Structures are given as C-alpha cells and as structure tokens.
Homo-oligomer: A and B are copies of this chain.
Amino acid sequence: MRVFASDAHRAHFPAGEIYNGELVRPFECPERWDHIDDALTAAGMTERHDAAAVGVDRLAAVHDPAFVDFLTHAWDEWTAQGHDGDMIPTCFPARRMNQRIPADIDGRLGYFAFAAETSIMSGTWSAALAAASLANEAAVRTIADGEPSFALCRPPGHHASIDFFGGYCYLNNAAIAAETMLAEGAERVAVIDVDFHHGNGTQDIFWTRQDVFFGSVHGDPAHEFPHFSGYADEAGGGDGEGATVNRPLAPGTDASTWFAALDDLIDHAVGHGVDALVVSLGVDTYENDPISSFRLASADFAGIGERLAGLDVPTVYCMEGGYAVAEIGTNVVNVLRGHVGV
C-alpha cells in the first residue's frame, strides 16, 4: 500500500463550525491527519509520496470551471471587501429563487455552497488543491503499476459537487481520482463510498455516466447529513441510469447489516464490469464517532479492505470523514491492512 500525503493540509483549519447554534471547533481538524500519519508509521507504512499540482483541466472534468474559479479567488475577493473573518455562506438560492450567479462575493459564496457548517479561510484553496493532487497522483501511479494507493486527503472531498462545496469538502478528490484512472487507461471505474455520510457530490458528478459506477452505503438521508441526497431510489439519470446504487441504512445500524450492504455494492460493481476502483474511505461508521450513529468496531474495519481487495482491480483509497480522532488512525490502518492482507 503506497501512501500519498502532504503537510499542505495544515493551511486549512477554519476558526469555527456551526453546531447546536454556536461556532465550535471544527470536527474536521488537523489532528485527524496526524493520528492517521502516526498509525501508518506504527504499522510499518513509513514512506510518504507527495504529488505535483493537479492540472486545471482535470479539475474541470469533474467541476464547473466557474466553481473552480470561485474557489481559487474567493479569499482574495473576500478580504478585498474588508472582511477578515472566515467565509461562512449564509444566503442560498432556494427553490423557485433566481439561479443567476450574483456579482458580489457574498452572493457567490452562497451560490457555490450547499451547507453553512463549512467555511473558506485563507489556506483552504491551497489545501484543497494539494488534497486533490494527492488523489490524482495516486490514481496515475496505481493505474501504471497496479499497486494500491492510499491518498491521505484533507480536506475530504465526497460532498463537493459539480458546483458547490459543503460538508467539509471543496474539491471532490475521489471523483478526480476516478477521472484520472479513466484518463490513464481504465475503461470503467467504480467509486465505492463507505463513509457514514452519503457522497452526494460524487453521485452528482457521475449521475449521467456509465463509465463510472457509484455505490454508497450510508446513514439514511431522512435522518442524517447531507439530508437531500442518498435515498435508495436515486439510481442515476439519463445515460447514467442504473450506474448509481444507494444503500441508506437506519441510525444505529450494526456491522453485519452494514457489511451485507457493502457486499451488495461490490456485487453491483462487479456486474458493471469495472476495471478500477476508487474508495471514498470514511471511518465515521465507527461506533464511537461523535457525529454519526453506526456501530462498527475497530476490528471490523479490516473487513472493508478485505472485501474491496476481492474486486481484484487497481485501487485508490481517498480519505474522507471520521471524527473519533484518537481512533481514526487505527481504523484507517485496519482497512488498508485488510486490503493488502497483513
């Protein structure tokens, strides 16, 4: 298992996250990365690969160029208007409202977002670009030699959609990895998302395509973030019909039910004839996660890697969520060890 990681993530750590009516320390924090890095080292995965910056053309293959442009310049525009605090989106183009893109930065901040718990700060763009670059590089290398890779992405990516950010995500690292695998020779890629939360961004990006299968097992959106994506009847549209499979599960779901859903996703991916795999690896399915409700134990995580390795195709893991900070490293390492069978 080759590990791609970069210290560039440290530039991103917003001052607060809206939770229970207050601004609290964000659950998505730099120590998450440190604990994973430490656990990888302790498990003997000591080498770290960095990455060249991913090209704008690759970003534009999965995101609206206007959105990429917004993210690139947002902080400079914001501070040019005299602001010094983080950019928290407040006004959103709700149903029946005008969908024209506003001229001012406050308006565009809401236009290009779907959630207000996630803000943009001075270092957000550089960190997001670095995370996407790791995913891209991991995909290039894994397609080249078949060795599985782990991209220790932070910020995560699977909630970032064609043209909006939120849920701690800005650029969709997993979607970029899938796109890169196609560009490097894969013909059909599966993105399997095992994060507790539905990967609404990834689904949206590949909704109308057959060359990328998207399968997700997650908390039922009727009860869990992102609330407006991930129902069982969402199965792709247009040319992409049938290439999206969602397995929403009830709050409190235990490991055996969860693994049955994962096996089902894997069967669908096999049936789709995929020749490469991207895993959106969240470990917030862990029983002690502070903002999630599934009941996987640390030892269970090895089973995720074991099952996904059974697909027997070039595989890139991209780090997504997981907020039980002290245990996040152990849980991630268990997945990766399960994959390589040690």
A98-B234, A200-B97, A221-B107 in contact; A91/B21 too (CB < 8 A)? no
Total chain A interface residues with beta-carbon distance under 8 A? 59
A86 surroundings in chain B (CB, below 8 A): 21
Is A93 on the interface with B (CB-CB < 8 A)? Answer: yes
A83 to B19, CA, bound (A): 10
A window 222-242: CB within 8 A of B = 222-231, 234
Is A277 on the interface with B (CB-CB < 8 A)? Answer: no
A200 surroundings in chain B (CB, below 8 A): 97
* Cross-chain contact A106 with B18 (CB below 8 angstroms): no
Contact with B along A103-135 (1 / 0, CB 8 A): 110110011011111010000000000000000
Interface centre among A116, A167, A207, A221 (most CB of B within 10 A): A116
Contact partner of A115 (CB less than 8 A), chosen from B90, B96, B167, B222, is: B90
* Cross-chain contact B231 with A100 (CB below 8 angstroms): yes
Interface centre among A18, A23, A162, A234 (most CB of B within 10 A): A18
A166 surroundings in chain B (CB, below 8 A): 91, 94
A117 to B90, CA, bound (A): 6
A20 surroundings in chain B (CB, below 8 A): 83-85
Is A99 on the interface with B (CB-CB < 8 A)? Answer: yes
Contact partner of A104 (CB less than 8 A), chosen from B93, B113, B222, B231, is: B222
Is A37 on the interface with B (CB-CB < 8 A)? Answer: no
* Cross-chain contact B227 with A107 (CB below 8 angstroms): yes
* Cross-chain contact A93 with B95 (CB below 8 angstroms): yes
| The 7 nearest A-B residue pairs measured at CB | A21-B85, A21-B86, A94-B114, A107-B227, A116-B116, A97-B228, A93-B228
20 interchain pairs (CB within 8 A)? Answer: A21-B85, A21-B87, A21-B88, A23-B23, A90-B116, A91-B114, A93-B95, A94-B114, A95-B163, A95-B164, A96-B162, A96-B204, A96-B207, A97-B114, A97-B204, A102-B221, A104-B222, A107-B221, A107-B223, A107-B228
